[in-house]
Amino acid sequence: MRYRTLGGTGIEVSVHCLGTMMFQDGCNSDHDDCVRIIHAALDQGINFVDTADMYGQGESEEIVGKALRGRRDDIVLATKVHFPMGEGRNRGGNSRRWILKAVEDSLRRLDTDWIDLYQVHFPDHSTDIEETLSVLSDLVRQGKVRAFGCSNYPAEEIVEAHHVSERRGLGRFRTAQPPYSILARGIEASLLPVVERHGMGALVWSPLAFGFLTGKHRKDRPVDLTTGRAALRPALFDPARAENAAKLDAVEQLVELATSIGCTLPELAVAFTVAHPGVTSAIIGPRTMEQLDGLLKGAALTLDDATLDRIDAIVPPGVNLYNPAASLPPRSLTDTALRRRPLAERAAA
């Protein structure tokens, strides 16, 4: 396993990061089995583990805490904050009030005194970014957090956050965590260049494109929209939709490419993401030991320029055949008041 420096922090992390979203009720709820999977990943050189408080409403963090007992000093541990945790107001978001509560809860569940990378899971436009950066900076000074980053932030909001950090003398986002895969290459256009320009690390999620690059979903095969991920987001899998037909067409070409270079489609997909100079680590999120073994089998796969050129011909650089973060589109698109002038001001004369 190779290691790269995480966004100028001096912390070295494995090029594969173990994601733990699958370790919860409804996915893999066998805590002992999850611990075995985590230990197997660590034994094969992964030193970077990513979780979030909202995965199973804390269950994933508890599993990770169990797995890291006796090994904590050697592991770079990342978690996230933002989504509601329980009923009631002010139990989510990016406010100082909530983050101070949430970090203590995460530390307790993870059974640790510090978090190496604390990430803001999504933007919160009801909270001033200065408020969020201020409390995160305080947590670093207190030693509860070593560094902090953002997840699912668009490029323009990352730039704004850096501007506020400089103007107010606050700590800055050291990392970004966007979705990235062969089928979702939109971040190549602006987000990854911004990450590189500001010396940030990038931890990319969904390298298997929500399952489309596992090889399970193929053209002209029936799709069961009542189970698994297809039941959660049927619009992403319904083959009758033109955008899904385009994904399946691309998958067929990618399967042929993978076969021609002697690897599996998942191996090709993960290797593609870590070949970009702006990417520090790709998050792999296995549910079973078999899935972990399959993903790590391709860790040494190197894609040459000819192979990357063939991928570019199938899905051009910067093109999104789908957007896995589309369930939370930016406010600039959802708030009509930000897209329409008052009626009396719309005419040119």
List active site positions. Answer: 55
The span from the CA of 37 to the CA of 321, in Å, is 32
Number of C-beta neighbours around residue 212 at 10 A? 29
Instruction: Give kind and range of the element (H or E) at residue 16.
Output: strand 16-19
Enter the DSSP assignment of 105.
H
Q: Of the candidates 309, 204, 323, 208, which has an alpha carbon nearest to the alpha carbon of residue 267?
A: 208
Token reading at 125: 């436009």
Q: Of the candidates 12, 71, 1, 62, which has an alpha carbon nearest to the alpha carbon of residue 280?
A: 12
Token reading at 140: 């670093």
The span from the CA of 108 to the CA of 86, in Å, is 16
Residue 56 gets the label, from left (phi > 0), alpha (psi -120 to 50) or beta, of left
Do 114 and 145 meet the contact criterion of CB atoms below 8 Å apart?
A: yes
Residue 319 gets the label, from left (phi > 0), alpha (psi -120 to 50) or beta, of beta
Q: Which residues pair with 76 in a beta bridge?
A: 48
Do 137 and 86 meet the contact criterion of CB atoms below 8 Å apart?
A: no
List Cα–Cα distances, 184 to 239, 247, 269, 293, in angstroms. Answer: 18, 10, 11, 24
Token reading at 167: 């103007």
Enter the DSSP assignment of 120.
E
List Cα–Cα distances, 191 to 18, 180, 323, in angstroms. Answer: 23, 11, 14
Backbone φ and ψ of 198, nearest 5°: -95, 10
The span from the CA of 157 to the CA of 331, in Å, is 12
